[in-house]
Chain A
Amino acid sequence: MSALAENNKRKKSLWLICLALIMIGFGTFLFGLAGNHPERAWQAYLVNFLLWSAIAQGGLLFSAIMHTVKARWSGPLSDLAESFTAFFPVSFGLFLILFLGKNHIFPWLHQDLHGKEVWLNVPFLFTRDCMGLLVLYGLGFAYLYHSLWLKLDRSISHGKIRKYLYKRWDRSIPDVQRCNSRMTVIGILYILAFTLILSLIGYDLVMSTDPHWYSTLFGAYTFVKAFYIGLGGLIILASILHLNPEIEFKLKPSQFHDIGKLFFAFCLVWGDFFYVQLVVIWYGNIPEETAYLIERTMTPPWNSLAWFVFIICFILPFIILLNKKIKTKPQFMSVLCTVVIMGIFLEHFLLIGPALNPHVSALPLGLTDGLIFLGFLGLISLAVMYFLNLFPELLRGETGEVK
């Protein structure tokens, strides 16, 4: 009985830590808004919004893909990945708040766009991105709904959401076959929406910060990046839960190895998509395209950041993950994935920063950015913890069952 009390006390302290982080982040953000440089606060907000939403969206993508291809090795991991949907409503709310900072995150607001105004204007941009996120998150929730239908343990009956779900499901008898095939359809739709909506977000919120530059691969680059860090987030979550002796979630070394391999594969894909854009623009040497690249990879202060990002997001994981044993050690993998996620945070900053801070001599990166980063981290941790608390069946992990 005291073990349970211990557990509850630990849970409560985790909640408090998350709340504290959120308060710190929120506070720093408000403080920044009130100061002399509100654009720095909004820049940090935008970068973090993109990063953490991508982790959540990419995390659920793993589950959708595993279900669609009927993979057999990933059962408990797919279930765990569904917990990222808890961040979806938070992310949507954060996006709506982004609207308030429009003067600071859209450098094209007062530029002459030579005809692009049809596309790049605040009402149209927000409407389409809003609807896109609603579609994506809606599909994510539909997928979750069906997945829970098959999973929820009726012996647990507290909680309003649960009661509502049970009431709905008692009205119609769940047919496992039909539920699975519906999940496949919704999963495929989620995957399609993921590629389209994340491409759209990439074009609208990142690529358009320099409205005269374009790259056809940018959309795909955005969603590949999202899957890369989504996998990283999933590995961190799985490692934390696996290493905790009191939680019944446990993975086999072969499962860690497999998801480690997938992470390695997407490290390569991300690196490849980065290089593909680089080589085409470098080689063509067309000033319209190269200005963007030169500013970010060849001129100080951004060039050192670019090299740093490349090394910790590609070179380091590549060399480390060639080794098989390392992939099976959750402690090490969680550290590596944390480093990679921070690297991709810097990469988002590298893409957006020069456009929002033209002609700076030092990187506009400071303590406030770090604190806001922690705030967002607190938000997503809170959402995932809340979800896992609500639906502990996700941690039970029936291995080997074909979902």
Chain B
Amino acid sequence: MSELTFAKIDRTILDTLKPPSRIYWWTLAILFLGVLTGAACWIYQIFTGIGVGGQNNPVAWGTYLINFVFWVGIAHSGTLISAILHLLRAGWRNPIARAAETMTVFAVCIAGLFPFIHLGRVWMVYYMLPVPNQRNLWQNFQSPLMFDVVAISTYLTVSSLFWYTGMLPDLATVRDRATGLRKKIFTVISLGWTGAHEQWRHYTRGYLFFAALATPLVISVHSVVSWDFALGVVPGWHTTIFAPYFVAGAIHSGLAMVLTLMIPLRKIFHYEKIITINVLESVAKTIIFTGLIVGFAYGTEFFMAWYSQNPLEMEIFRYRPTGDYAVGFWIMVICNTTIPLLFFFKRVRTTIAWLFGISICINIGMWYERFVIIISSVSHDFIPHAWGLYSPTAIEFGIMIGTFCLFFCLFFLFVKHLPSVSMTEMKETLEQGAGHGD
């Protein structure tokens, strides 16, 4: 960190905006093909009907909901890093804040797609908007699904504004070193930012408010998503711990995705001096914390299912580890709670291979957690006669692959057109490091 200077930071980061290599274009092309596959599957579903997916009676919510919750979850840790850690004055957030915040914006966009996909008849989406109409039909704001509409739209708007505002000084930096068309575009989007003291005075205050407001927003949005399940009466869903449990799980999966994205980014763009091993280690330590919370929640749910002596609760918690979806359950438990404990060892949390491997495990585990929660509860609820199984169809897999590819596609486009590390915040870290004495 001490060898970095303002100039070196600028140079390292602006270098990443140079024209990309062949490998980049090929990867982008493959990702784009994936996106097209997903789009094709979705179009087929629109024409044929929602029945091409595996959801039916009794399991009416399948991978579309799983992916929805998965992507909203991933979005949350981006805001944790850029907003909450800003409030806590944790310096290790600075190198990764920009990329994390971008991850948030794209993840929310992807998440927002899934209610549309799951709608089937997408042309009816306007039913969700409170617009005056002839029949005086309005939305039922008592429904958790409407809470979702409000919460996710708020989150998308706030995250995008936060992302853009945070980038403003950096956009000016790019403008000042760009030429031709890029210079013109960045002149417009940097809104004439000059770094004057009056601008900084208002900017820092506004940014603080952004961070202070984004923090309760993060907690509330994933609580609202958890209430999609908890406000029903289905055993295994109707439980008070869901809101904090989902928030902790969201941050857990999001931090893992941050590692998954940062580690290759760091290698390819030569960010080793900027995104140091210490930064990755701090992310790993936070993962231990969130993993323990998730483990606590699992244990509590099991204990309380027994304590309640309620046959429905006890049955669902017998079904999860031993029933038809037991494989998913054990993947979930091991990947989310046991494997992250390895981060207690310093060797593990400072080795790139371990960090990357464990982050992939956690991503898979958290996806399976949503699978276990959603599918097992609904397939095995009150009346044994109504029990039924679910398995995703090829169309659902196609859409899932399409959305994963869309996320990485957007991220790839981002890293080559916008500065993927915040130059301003990196320079601030240097100044704080140099001038620290009070």
Contacts and interface: CB of A to CB of B under 8 A. Distances in A.
A and B touching (C-beta < 8 Å)? Answer: yes
A280 B231 contact: yes
- Which of A199, A215, A283, A400 has the most chain B CB within a 10 Å cutoff? A283
Contact of A216 (B240, B292, B309): B240
A272 interface: yes
Contacts, number: 66
B230 A273 contact: no
A116 B307 contact: yes
B300 A216 contact: yes
Contact of B309 (A116, A268, A281): A116
B244 interface: yes
Interface in A184-236: 192, 195-196, 199, 203, 214-220
Contacts of B232: 284
5 contacts: A115-B309, A214-B304, A217-B244, A273-B244, A283-B231
Interface of B: 216, 219, 223, 227, 230-233, 238-244, 292, 296, 300-301, 304, 307-310, 438
B238 A286 contact: yes
Given A199-B300, A280-B230, A280-B231, A214 B308 contact: yes
Given A214-B308, A284-B232, A284-B233, A220 B227 contact: no
Contacts of A297: none
B244 A280 contact: no
A100 interface: no
B231 A284 contact: yes
A208 B384 CA distance: 31
A276 B243 contact: yes
A44 B406 CA distance: 60
A146 B397 CA distance: 55
B231 A216 contact: no
A114 interface: yes
B216 A220 contact: no
Given A216-B240, A220-B296, 8 more contacts: A192-B292, A215-B240, A215-B304, A216-B304, A220-B300, A276-B240, A280-B240, A283-B227
A123 B309 CA distance: 21
Interface residues of A, number: 30
Nearest to A286: B233
Nearest to B292: A192
A68 to B, nearest CB: 9
Contacts of B219: 272
B300 A114 contact: no
A119 interface: yes
A215 B239 CA distance: 7
Interface in A357-403: 400
A279 interface: yes
Given A199-B300, A220-B241, A277-B240, A214 B307 contact: yes
User: Chain B interface secondary structure, helix, strand, loop or mixed?
Assistant: helix
Interface in A132-152: none
A318 to B, nearest CB: 11
Q: Would you list the 3 A-B pairs with minimal beta carbon distance, nearest first?
A: A216-B241, A217-B240, A283-B231
Contacts of A217: 239-241, 243-244
Contacts of B239: 216-217, 280
Contacts of A272: 219, 223, 243-244
Contacts of B238: 280, 284, 286
A108 B241 CA distance: 25
Interface string A106-125: 00000001111001000000
Interface string A274-316: 0011011101101010000000000000000000000000000
Nearest to B438: A400
- Which of A114, A116, A220, A280 has the most chain B CB within a 10 Å cutoff? A280
A283 B242 CA distance: 14
Contacts of B244: 217, 220, 272-273, 276
A273 B300 CA distance: 16
Given A199-B300, A219-B300, A280 B242 contact: yes
A218 B438 CA distance: 42
Contacts of A281: 240
B143 to A, nearest CB: 10
A219 to B, nearest CB: 6
- Which of B216, B230, B241, B308 has the most chain A CB within a 10 Å cutoff? B241
B351 to A, nearest CB: 20
A119 B307 contact: yes
Nearest to A207: B307
Contacts of A279: 227, 231
Contacts of B438: 400
Contacts of A277: 240
Contacts of A219: 300
Contacts of A268: 216
Contact of B301 (A116, A192, A216, A276): A216
Contacts of A276: 223, 240, 242-244
Contacts of A214: 304, 307-308
A50 B230 CA distance: 30
B91 to A, nearest CB: 10
Nearest to A221: B240
B241 A114 contact: no
Interface in A257-272: 268, 272
